[in-house]
A = this chain, B = another copy of it.
């Protein structure tokens, strides 16, 4: 990381803002810049005082940056990959923290010049909250960060060091395996939370116990972030199908008062959960 003088972040929301704070805490010598897409955003970010510089000009932001971090929703990451491509100096490391990786990796290859490197990342942490005002310098502590670019590629060791220094544990897997695993572990659970709370009649919500509020906590997540995730993960519709299959097995067994099947389904679930203990 000694060679890194300037890091620029595009998308200084909760995740990007937390990363800015984490980097400043771990590497006080690095200058951390952030992008403001308009005057409102500029004034807000200036006031929060989490960046060394708030910059409205994309070229000024990235042209001498050693690392550019894209921390917007997925489709905006793709848009900014295209927008910044011609401003980057040689050997810049472009990285992202988007929640799906196949499409982003594909467009990074298409848009970025050959003399810069792209490292796809996805730190598995976050919150249903959004906005830089919630930024937390310890957000990435103990989080798993999936890196989908092979270690041998130029720049990856630097990004790995960055994540490890802010407290994350780095795991390398391919973009497609990432999207498949995360579909089951995060994207399907979000579809479930959004759907579960929609089942509840508004009139009965006042009776909701804490356990139900905990289960649906992620249903407060942002539509702008999550529509992009759902639209860019090609494994999610099959996971929904497989999930519905299990729900139907329960439903049919309950209708038929078929104890045996219900016990079998619960036993299988018990057995799988026991692997976590």
Number of interface residues of A (CB under 8 A): 76
Q: Which of B200, B223, B230, B269 contacts A267 (CB 8 A)?
A: B223
A interface majority secondary structure: helix
**Which B residues touch A220, using CB under 8 A?**
269-270, 273-274
Say how far A222's CB is from chain B's closest CB, in angstroms.
Answer: 8
Give every chain B residue within 8 A of A273 (Cβ-Cβ).
197, 216-217, 219-220
* A222 partner residues in chain B, CB cutoff 8 A: 266
A207 CB contacts on chain B under 8 angstroms: 171, 181, 185
The oligomer's copy count stands at: 2
Q: Chain A interface (Cβ within 8 Å of chain B)?
A: 124, 144, 171, 180-181, 184-186, 188-189, 191-202, 204-209, 211-224, 226-227, 230-231, 236-237, 239-244, 246-248, 250-251, 254-255, 257, 259, 262-263, 265-270, 272-276
Known: A186-B209, A189-B196, A275-B202. Contact between A250 and B269, CB under 8 A? no
Taking a contact as CB atoms under 8 Å apart, the answer to whether A270 and B223 are in contact is: yes
